[in-house]
Amino acid sequence: MIEIELGSVAEVSAGQSAPKKSEFSESGTPFIRAGSLKGLIEGQSESEFELISEETAKIKKLKLYPKGSILFAKSGMSATKGRIYSLKSPAYVVSHLAILLPKDNIDQSYLRLALNYFSPSKLIRDPAYPSISLKDIKKYRIPVPSNINDQKRIAYLLCKVESLILRRKNQLQELDELLQSVFFEMFGDPVQNNKQWNKKPLGMLLSQIDSGWSPKCESVPANNDQWGVLKLGAVTSGVFKQDENKAMLSNVAPKVQHEVKAGDLLFTRKNTYELVAATAFVHETRSKLLLPDLIFRLVIEDENEINPIYLWKLLSYPSQRKKIQSLAGGAAGSMPNISKANLNSALIPVPDIDLQLKFSEVVNKIEEIKNSYKVSLKDLELLSESLSHKAFKGELNLRNIPLTEVFDDKEELVEIVEDKPQFISKIDQGLGNLSANPLEKIDHFSKQLEQINRITKPFEQIDSLTRPIEQITKRLETIALPKMMLDFSKDKIRQKWLIKLLKDFLTDHDTTSLSLQDFWESAQNWISNFTSEDGENYCFSIEDYEVYKDFIFSELRNGVLLQEYEEVSNGIKFKVNKK
């Protein structure tokens, strides 16, 4: 491992001035801004951002940067964020971004990962006016293995963990979207009130709205034995974050009446227009945290009329929140503020309490799943930090990791092989002592990512969380994969593999009963691990389902399969006829 200046392994340049708003078009090539990086890193497609036509690009003399170019912000507050992104396709780039074009002596994925770990934001000289010069970027030194194959091995390992982290974050996002779908299916849009629920002013449902207190505080979070005051960030995301607090000064006595308790419903009364009116429910919290004066506590009068979990999700629902945000006032140049009087006047739908309680049960169930996902996400992030530390210090044993399976696009590789034990075991065979193998921990996490992929109806998705499909999923993961990637966009290939999955499972589990839906969902999980050239996950279609169903009924008619009624699930299942 040697330290090398970036200028010796990459061409360093900056982008160009952004065209006027009117010069963008509905189609064309993406134009990437500093503000685009967050969404891109989180998985958004480049084509979702502003597009420039070829004609406009020629007139503006814009330079087109190739796939694999590495971008990060070099000026403005974005430069402090440390966001590093590698282009998935050619794009035009704004002048606030630095662009690195990797040379032949460095692996592109390794360079991106090294910059993630050794953030160029360290080059900012004045935090008040964040800026990084191209000259300083060229001289910035990072550790690089002299053997490019070792660079590829490190990139493979770190990309694999990175992909697992992104997938876990996506699953958490999918659960949030699921809850919103459940809310809509049960209650409809709260503003349109198409289900004609009785509406009441919020103030009639609350006994009071508590204001907080904002004394002068330290700039650091409070220790567990210290008193602290919540920051707006504790509520802004819609999920309560107790770590978002500031320690109180030791010579200031706390006003304990403002202490936050489990069961509280918190509401941000003042913030930017986009962030005001955020609501979070406190499922649990550490002690000694106080409510600031920018956050209200909504105290419900009668929980037999309005359930706090329902009220939380109601106030968080996009159309309802937008309606509440419209109540904000404030002088020009100041942050929007929602007064108690205005908030009390907001009309909200009040469905039957039994329906609210049923919804609350669903929320609690999904929150429980989310909590377990958050724990594994934290473990993955710690694993990533540990592996990165060892990798960039040259302390990982890499020599036995084969290069035959490592492609240039590491992230694409990870998506293909992520949950394939056959592939992983092939690597493990050449590693000898597994205790010294960094893949061992990665694979431990990889095997956990099996649920919440692709189901359309929200109630069916909730039910599927408790269905006995784990055995099916595990078996499908061991199905031998084709040596060459197949084109699952073709109906015949997709349907052939669907029937193959079913036959292989029935052969190995001839005593197992399963329903049509159990196996169908497991098969959808399996095929969603494959992606098209456009980066979209494949899925089995309605036509595929008909082929699958016809095959089952044909086997039932021929006596190969038997039907049986299962009392627990109150449903029909089938299994192999062993006679």
User: In this model, does residue 249 exceed pLDDT 50?
Assistant: yes
Whether residues 231 and 319 fall in one domain: yes
Which residue has better confidence, 284 or 543?
Answer: 284
pTM for the whole structure? 0.65
Q: How many domains does the chain have?
A: 4
Q: What is the sign, positive or negative, of the torsion defined by CA atoms of 14, 20, 21, 23?
A: negative
Task: Specify whether 420 is located in the same domain as 508.
Answer: no
**pLDDT reading at 333 higher than 60:** no
* pLDDT tens, residue by residue, 130-171: 999 999 999 999 999 999 999 998 998 898 889 889 888 888
pLDDT range class, residue 129, cuts 50, 70, 90 = confident
Asked if pLDDT for residue 382 goes beyond 80, the answer is yes
Q: Rounded to whole angstroms, how far apart are CA atoms 335 and 355? A: 37
CATH code for the domain of 515: 1.10.10
For residue 303, what are the domain limits? 198-350
- Give 550's strand partners: none
Report the pLDDT value the prediction gives residue 37, as an integer from 0 to 100.
94
Digit-coded pLDDT (tens) for 63-82: 999 999 999 999 988 999 99
Last residue of one domain, picked from the residues 378, 412, 446: 446
Same domain, 209 and 247: yes
**What letters, b where the CB count within 10 A reaches 16 and e where it falls short, cover 42-77?**
eeeebeebbbbeeebbeeeebeebeebbbbbbbbee
Q: Of 350, 380, 400, at which residue does a domain stop?
A: 350
Average of pLDDT values for 483-491? 71
Distance CA 137, CA 124 (A): 10
Asked whether residue 308 falls in the same domain as residue 369, the answer is: no
State the chain's mean pLDDT as an integer: 83
Higher pLDDT, residue 434 or 372: 372
**Residue 75's domain is classified under what CATH number?**
3.90.220.20
Q: State residue 423's pLDDT score.
A: 31
How confident is residue 412, by pLDDT bands cut at 50, 70 and 90?
A: very low
Instruction: Answer whether residue 433 shows pLDDT above 70.
Output: no
Token pair 């009963």 is found at 513
Question: Closest Cα to residue 214, out of 236, 250, 235, 245?
Answer: 245
Q: What is the pLDDT of residue 360?
A: 94
Domain co-membership, 11 together with 137: yes
Question: In the structure, what pLDDT confidence band is assigned to residue 373 with cuts at 50, 70 and 90?
Answer: confident
